[in-house]
C-alpha cells in the first residue's frame, strides 16, 4: 500500500461515521496540509456515495487541525439522476475543525464535449526546474517531487518578481498513480503563489478550499500553475490549474487564505 493510501485510511464506527489518524507525513511547518485533510474527508464521503468518483469537493477550515486521531461525521444532502452530494465534518477533541461538501458522479458517464479557451502552462523541462528539498517540518516535500520553473523559484534566495505565480511539475516520489483523492492533495501541494512576489511568511492558513476534478490523469507527471491576483484586507485567493503531460485539463482549484507578513493564528 502506498503511503498516501495508508494515511487516508478510515475505520467505520457507525453507518455514517468514521475514525481516522491524521498523519505527520503531509505537513506544512508541522501543520497537516489542507489538501491532505480534504482527501481524508472526500475518502469518507466516497465510501458512502453511490457514485464512483468525486467531482467537486469544497471545505471550510474552521480552526486548527493537528496530527492524531479525528472523527468524521457524514450526512447525505441530496441525490439526483447524475450527482450524489454529501457533507462531512472532521471533529477533534469534541470540536468541529473542518466542514466539507462533496459532489460525486460516475466518471464513465461523463460527456465527451471539450472546449479549452486557455492553453496549458508551459513550465521549463523537468531537468531544468528546481526540486523543492525536504525541509524539516515540511514533510510533504519528503513524499512529493515538486519542481518549480526557474522563473518563479527566486524566492528561495530572496530574489522576488512582480507576479504572484508558481508553475512547475509534480508527482509522488514513490510514483503512486493519480486518482481523484490524490488530486485534492496535488491542488494544495505547491508553496503559496505569492511567495514569488512577497517572499516567505510563516503561515498562510486556509479559510476555504475547493477543487473541481475534470479528468483522471494517466501520465506520470502533472504540470501545474497557481496564481494570486489580489491581496487586500488580510485575504488572498489562489487559483490553480492542473494538467497532465498530454495537455488534458485534470483539475481546477480555488483557495481563500489569510495573509499577513507576521506569524498568524488560524481563524
Measured CA to CA, the distance from residue 38 to residue 42 in angstroms comes to 6
Q: Is the pLDDT of residue 100 over 90?
A: yes
Asked if residue 251 lies in contact with residue 180, where contact means CB atoms within 8 angstroms, the answer is no
Overall average pLDDT of the 90-94 stretch: 96
Pick the CATH number of 3-107+123-258 from 3.40.920.10, 1.10.4080.10, 1.10.10.10, 2.40.160.210: 2.40.160.210
The predicted-structure confidence for 120-138, as pLDDT tens digits, reads as follows 999 999 999 999 998 889 9
Tens-place pLDDT, residues 207-230:
999 999 999 999 999 999 999 999
Whole-number average pLDDT of the chain: 93
- Domain spans, the chain: 3-107+123-258
**Using 50, 70 and 90 to split pLDDT, how confident is the model at 267?**
very low
- Sheet strands (E) in the chain: 11-14, 17-22, 27-28, 31-32, 53-61, 68-79, 84-92, 95-105, 130-131, 144-148, 165-172, 206-213, 222-227, 231-232, 235-244, 249-258
Residue 22 near residue 67 (C-beta atoms within 8 A): yes
Q: How confident is the model at residue 203 (pLDDT cuts 50, 70, 90)?
A: low
The reported pLDDT for the residue numbered 202 is: 58
**Res 262: pLDDT:** 62
Quote the percentage of the chain above a pLDDT of 70.
96
pLDDT at 113 over 90: no
Residue of 71, 119, 67, 109 lying closest to 91 (CA atoms): 71
Which of these, 252, 133, 266, lies nearest to 191 by C-alpha position? 133
Per-residue pLDDT at 264 = 44
Amino acid at each position: 500500500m502506498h503511503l498516501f493510501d495508508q494515511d487516508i485510511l478510515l475505520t467505520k464506527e457507525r453507518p455514517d461515521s468514521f475514525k481516522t489518524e491524521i498523519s505527520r507525513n503531509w505537513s506544512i511547518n508541522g501543520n497537516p496540509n489542507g489538501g491532505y485533510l480534504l482527501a481524508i474527508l472526500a475518502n469518507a464521503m466516497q465510501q458512502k456515495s453511490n457514485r464512483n468518483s468525486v467531482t467537486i469537493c469544497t471545505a471550510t477550515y474552521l480552526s486548527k487541525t493537528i496530527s492524531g486521531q479525528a472523527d468524521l461525521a457524514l450526512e447525505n444532502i441530496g441525490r439526483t439522476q447524475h450527482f450524489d452530494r454529501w457533507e462531512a465534518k472532521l471533529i477533534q477533541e469534541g470540536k468541529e475543525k473542518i466542514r466539507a461538501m462533496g459532489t460525486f458522479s460516475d466518471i464513465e458517464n461523463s460527456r465527451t464535449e471539450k472546449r479549452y479557451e486557455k492553453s496549458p502552462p508551459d513550465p521549463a523541462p523537468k531537468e531544468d526546474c528546481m526540486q523543492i528539498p525536504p525541509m524539516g517540518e515540511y514533510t510533504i516535500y519528503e513524499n512529493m517531487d515538486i519542481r518549480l520553473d526557474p522563473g518563479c523559484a527566486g524566492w528561495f534566495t530572496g530574489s522576488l518578481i512582480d507576479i504572484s505565480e508558481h508553475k512547475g511539475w509534480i508527482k509522488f516520489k514513490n510514483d503512486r498513480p493519480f486518482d481523484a483523492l490524490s488530486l485534492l492533495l496535488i491542488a494544495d501541494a505547491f508553496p503559496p503563489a505569492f511567495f514569488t512576489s512577497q517572499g516567505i511568511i510563516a503561515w498562510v492558513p486556509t479559510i476555504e478550499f475547493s477543487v473541481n476534478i475534470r479528468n483522471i490523469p494517466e501520465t506520470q507527471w502533472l504540470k501545474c500553475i497557481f496564481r494570486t491576483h489580489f491581496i487586500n484586507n488580510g485575504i488572498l485567493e489562489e487559483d490553480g490549474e492542473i494538467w497532465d503531460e498530454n495537455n488534458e485539463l485534470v483539475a481546477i482549484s480555488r483557495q481563500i487564505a489569510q495573509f499577513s507578513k507576521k506569524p498568524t493564528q488560524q481563524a
